[in-house]
A and B are shown apart, each in its own frame.
Chain A
Amino acid sequence: DVQMTQSPYNLAASPGESVSINCKASKSISKYLAWYQQKPGKANKLLIYDGSTLQSGIPSRFSGSGSGTDFTLTIRSLEPEDFGLYYCQQHNEYPYTFGAGTKLELK
Chain B
Amino acid sequence: QVQLKETGPDLVQLTQTLSITCTVSGFSLTTYNVHWVRQPPGKGLEWMGAMWNGGGTDYNSAFKSRLSISRDTSKSQVFLKMNSLQTDDTAKYFCARHGATRVYDYWGQGVMVTVSS
Q: Which residues on A are within 8 Å of B, measured CB to CB?
A: 32, 34, 36, 41-46, 49-50, 53, 55, 87, 89, 91, 94-101
Contacts A89-B45, A95-B62, A98-B46; is A46 near B94 (CB within 8 Å)?
no
Complex interface: chain B residues within 8 A of A43 (CB): 106-109
B13 at the interface (CB under 8 A from A): no
Q: Is the CB of A101 within 8 A of B44?
A: yes
- Distance in angstroms from A95 CB to nearest chain B CB is 5
* B55-85 contacts to A (CB < 8 Å): 58, 60-62
Contact check: which of A89, A95, A97, A99 meets B103 at CB < 8 Å?
A89
**CB <8 Å contact, B44 and A95:** no
Name the one of B61, B62, B103, B109 contacting A91, with C-beta atoms under 8 angstroms: B103
Interface residues of B (CB under 8 A from A): 35, 43-47, 50, 58, 60-62, 94, 96, 101-109
Residue from the list A32, A87, A94 in contact with B44, Cβ < 8 A: A87
Q: Which of B44, B94, B96 has the most CB of A within 10 A?
A: B44
Given contacts A44-B94, A44-B96, contact A55 B105 (CB under 8 A): yes
Find out whether the CB atom of A36 lies under 8 angstroms from the CB atom of B109: no
Once the chains bind, are B101 and A50 in contact (CB under 8 Å)? Answer: yes
Partner of A99, one of B35, B44, B58: B44
In the assembled complex, which residues on chain B have CB atoms less than 8 Å from the CB atom of A96? 35, 47
Contact partners of B109 in chain A: CB under 8 A = 41-43
Instruction: Give Cα distance in the complex from A89 to B45, angstroms.
Output: 9
Q: Which residues of A contact B108 (CB under 8 A)?
A: 43
